[in-house]
Amino acid sequence: MALSMAGCRGLLWRLGPGPAAGLSRARGELRFPGRCLSTKAGSRSVLAALVSTAKRINRRYERFLERTFPRFYVLHSTFIRGIQALFLEVKEIRDIRSRMARQRLSVQQLPYRDMERLRQFRRDLIKAVPIGIIAIPPFANFLVIILMYFFPRQLLIRHFWTPKQQVEFLDTYDAIRRDSYPAVLESLARAARSLPDPQLQTRLQQLCAEVQRGSQPRVAQLCAVRSVFSGSPLALNHLQVSHVKALSRVLFLTPHLPAPVLRQRLRSHVLEIRQLDRALQRLSVGQLCEEELRAACYLRGLNSAYLDVASCRAWLEQWLGLSCRLEASEASLLANSMVLLSLNYVRPKK
């Protein structure tokens, strides 16, 4: 009897604990995940409460600034919105770059909007480099803030302009480039006199004279003289230095560089616009929103701030009708057309 009881105990020991012990262990195991979940939920609720409190304090702080220091509040809110917009744009640029690497795409194969974002972001970075260099020495931040306050157009990128500044600065830049339009026309008329073909010489001289008298040229008139812009004296590599400097101002490029560098930069920027034009042609002008439409016109030489949407669209269609016919060797005509097509375009009174 004792042996049988010992055998039973040995069998039970080999089989493991009984159902009661197994259930108690299972309850214990089930209890631990519940504790983990409750801990995570608690930490999330604490984090949510902290975020909510921070937002509430920030709203009160902004209301205080708006009531007490309205001018500083405008700068503060513009800075906050600018930071947010800049971070979003950096994320978009990173996504575009990763997609290009993943799909092995070149810039020319991108859709219009992606191509335009890359172009604008690169120009913003170039503009931000000087202020970044100034901020490197210790305690130079105060100098940077003062410079940014007194020279926002020259030092701040577009994300940190107030709505009023955006209109004002775009008008200022347009006035600067329009000051160069007469010099471009005079250079064209002077170069036309040295053309070897009498017929093309007459056509170009008539075109320049009509524009100087206030006429708006047609695309057909420009295409009729396109051949003279791919050789001497009107190809980009053969233009007079004064002509190159005037065109550089039209494209917002500094004219204070050696002539070979000016020609190279001018050619690079004009061909970039030509690539954008082809991408825009694939998309179609009708797909652009009003902001994109006005920005596209402004980039190509037309101040669209005081034009209605229909006028902007008609002008951009006209521009694409010319640009998409031209070859890369005729980039000089595209650069000069920024003046020829925009100088006398109908401009409603402000």
List, for the chain, all residue ranges whose pLDDT scores fall below the cut of 50: 1-34, 37, 348-350
What is the model's pLDDT at position 8?
41
Residue 118 amino acid letter: L
- HEC profile of the chain: CHHHHHHHHHHHHHHCCCHHHHHHHHHHHHHHHHHHHHHHHHHHHHHHHHHHHHHHHHHHHHHHHHHHCHHHHHHHHHHHHHHHHHHHHHHHHHHHHHHHHHHCCCHHHCCHHHHHHHHHHHHHHHHHHHHHHHCCCCCCHHHHHHHHHHCHHHHCCHHHCCHHHHHHHHHHHHHHHHCCHHHHHHHHHHHHCCCCCHHHHHHHHHHHHHHHCCCCCCHHHHHHCHHHHHCCCCCHHHCCHHHHHHHHHHCCCCCCCCHHHHHHHHHHHHHHHHHHHHHHHHHCHHHCCHHHHHHHHHHCCCCCCCCCHHHHHHHHHHHHHHHCCCCHHHHHHHHHHHHHCCCCCCCCCC
Phi, psi at residue 195, to the nearest 5°?
A: -70, 140
Within 10 angstroms of residue 38's Cβ, the number of other Cβ atoms is 10
- For residue 333, what pLDDT is reported? 96
The reported pLDDT for the residue numbered 142 is: 67
User: What is the distance between the alpha carbons of residues 70 and 43, in angstroms, rounded to a whole number?
Assistant: 38
pLDDT value of position 38: 58
Length, in residues, of the chain: 350
Give the Cβ contact number of residue 48 at 10 Å: 10
**How high is the pLDDT of residue 22?**
43
Tell me the domain boundaries of the chain: 177-340
Q: What is the pLDDT of residue 125?
A: 86
CA separation (Å) from 120 to 6, 90, 277, 338, 342?
Answer: 87, 12, 15, 19, 22
pTM attached to this predicted model: 0.78
Phi and psi of 179, rounded to 5°? -65, -25
Distance CA 82, CA 79 (A): 5
